[in-house]
């Protein structure tokens, strides 16, 4: 207790005053959380929230909320996604501060889970019961915790550490059957939990390599991120898609994304045409690849952490004229009500 208080006292009263109470509590409880570590925790949390906003704003995405409208949803909007990402930031700080210098053990796993459940409750409160980022709280929470444990890690090291934490047991919770549980029982898809437990393979092997490949080819950041999303969509068994449309819908999403990439990606004229067609087909079937969107946010976050960025680079080609002609003939605001994540 004495050590914790000494280290906390190293933080000026001004520093403590500008912290969220949740962050102050996590800093005081962790004797490893020095002023430098506390500042880095705030940076990691900021990058996580920025990554969620960057994913939401990226346009045009097939079936997903973006700057054009709500995609296959009627209960989501871009403003709501931004609000949700912003209010989660103090909880991301708490997850990071809690994890500094800690062993990846069941105690840490349980503490992170408790913070995650609090974050989820606030998310539902500010969105009036709409699930905007449940899967992202899990994914990014684990990645933030893994990144906070020590500095200068590679993407693979962070993802592996996050997987190790994910595989640890949590305290017993009430048995609630989720959409993810139903999909897992019917189709065998493990969803966000399986992705995390396996060390985020679709981020490490598909999303991030495509993002960097397109950057190396001097593509705009918009194209880099869209093609990274398509790469993930072409491979992952997205439980959001399976829940809404079953195996047929998953085949549509995977084959549609792969076709765009084979046509040269979103940077090609034919790829843009195929993207418009896929968007229309997903909206018509009320299908939204929300799991893939979460993994794109994780991709953007890990890229920024490994590159030691202080903020997420802005998409330089977000003007309405750039993509207004690509909007699907199906009105984007007329999606059916559905939850984004399972």
With contact defined as beta carbons under 8 Å apart, do 324 and 66 qualify?
no
Vertex 250 angle, CA 333 and 281, to 5°: 35
- Inside any domain, residue 322: no
| Rounded mean pLDDT for each run of 10 residues along the chain, 342 residues in total | 34 48 60 81 96 96 94 90 95 95 93 94 94 94 96 96 94 68 74 92 98 97 97 96 92 98 98 97 95 97 96 67 43 46 44
- Inside any domain, residue 247: yes
Q: Enter the tokens of residue 46.
A: 């900021």
User: Domain range for residue 233?
Assistant: 2-6+20-168+198-312+328-334
- Which of 91, 2, 77, 82 lies closest to 45 in space, CA to CA? 91
- Inside any domain, residue 44: yes
- Inside any domain, residue 190: no
pTM of the model: 0.86
- Inside any domain, residue 183: no
Answer left, alpha or beta for residue 308, where phi above 0 means left and psi between -120 and 50 means alpha.
Answer: left
First to last CA, the chain: 40
- Inside any domain, residue 93: yes
Task: Note if the bond before 253 is cis, omega within 30 degrees.
Answer: no
Cβ atoms within 10 Å of 21's Cβ, excluding its own: 10
- Inside any domain, residue 173: no
State the total domains in the chain: 1
pLDDT tens across 15-26, in order? 444 556 666 566
CA distance 324 to 188: 39
- Inside any domain, residue 323: no
pLDDT tens across 135-181, in order? 999 999 999 999 999 999 999 999 999 999 999 988 766 666 677 77
Compute the CA torsion angle 295, 266, 336, 290 (nearest 10 deg): 0
């Amino acid at each position: 207790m004495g050590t914790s208080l000494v280290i906390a006292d190293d933080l000026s009263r001004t520093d403590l005053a500008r912290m969220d109470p949740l962050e102050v509590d996590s800093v005081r409880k962790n004797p490893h959380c020095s002023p430098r570590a506390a500042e880095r925790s705030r940076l990691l949390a900021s990058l996580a929230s920025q990554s969620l906003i960057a994913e939401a704003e990226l346009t045009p995405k097939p079936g997903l909320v973006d700057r054009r409208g709500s995609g296959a949803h009627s209960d989501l909007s871009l403003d709501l996604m931004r609000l949700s990402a912003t209010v989660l930031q103090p909880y991301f700080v708490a997850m990071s501060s809690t994890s500094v210098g800690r062993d990846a053990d069941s105690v840490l796993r349980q503490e992170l889970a408790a913070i995650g459940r609090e974050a989820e409750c606030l998310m539902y409160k500010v969105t009036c019961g709409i699930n905007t980022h449940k899967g992202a709280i899990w994914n990014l929470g684990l990645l933030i915790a893994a990144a906070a444990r020590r500095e200068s890690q590679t993407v693979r090291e962070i993802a592996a550490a996050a997987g190790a934490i994910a595989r640890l047991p949590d305290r017993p919770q009430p048995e609630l059957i989720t959409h993810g549980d139903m999909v897992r029982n019917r189709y065998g898809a493990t969803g966000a939990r399986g992705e995390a437990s396996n060390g985020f393979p679709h981020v490490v092997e598909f999303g991030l390599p495509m993002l960097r490949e397109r950057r190396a080819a001097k593509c705009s950041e918009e194209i880099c991120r869209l093609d990274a999303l398509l790469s993930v969509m072409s491979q992952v068994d997205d439980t959001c898609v399976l829940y809404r449309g079953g195996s047929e819908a998953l085949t549509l999403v995977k084959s549609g994304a792969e076709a765009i990439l084979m046509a040269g990606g979103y940077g090609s004229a034919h790829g843009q045409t195929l993207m418009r067609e896929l968007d229309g087909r997903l909206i018509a079937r009320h299908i939204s690849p929300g799991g893939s969107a979460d993994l794109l946010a994780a991709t953007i976050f890990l890229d920024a952490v490994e590159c030691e960025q202080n903020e997420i680079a802005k998409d330089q080609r977000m003007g309405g004229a750039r993509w207004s002609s690509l909007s699907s003939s199906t009105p984007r605001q007329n999606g059916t009500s559905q939850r984004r994540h399972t």
